[in-house]
Structure 1
């Protein structure tokens, strides 16, 4: 599956990662068919607040 990986301020890439899977009884998988972006979503991209490199948002 594809994931957006944060490498640092203004540096994100889409890469292939292993498929998500249920590991605990409280886990759930969802299928996203549409998404949108809000101005506040850009805060991390612009470095506010700082985030760790290599973070994967799948």
Structure 2
């Protein structure tokens, strides 16, 4: 599937990532037809986030 991924300061990409999987009885998988980063994700464009790793998927 395609997802927005973080690769560092100023580097957000739309890439192919692994399909999601059910991991818990309360999980669901929904079909998303479009995406964008959230306003709360904008700070990732301008700065370094120590807990983020290259390829992490954005969104919530």
Please state which structure has a larger fraction of its residues in strand: 1
Summarize deviations over 1:7-51 as a string: whole Å, max 9, x none.
Answer: 10101111111211212102111223455655443111111x625
User: Normalising by structure 2, what TM-score?
Assistant: 0.65
What is the alpha-carbon root mean square deviation over aligned residues?
2.5
Q: Which moved more, 1:26-35 or 1:8-17?
A: 26-35
Q: Distance in 2 between matches of 1:23 and 1:36?
A: 25
Note the residue ranges of structure 2 that are not aligned, 5 or more in a row.
none
Aligned residues: 57
Task: Give the corresponding residue for 1:28.
Answer: 28
Larger Rg: 1
User: Normalising by structure 1, what TM-score?
Assistant: 0.66
Instruction: Return structure 1 stretches of 4+ with deviation > 6 angstroms.
Output: none
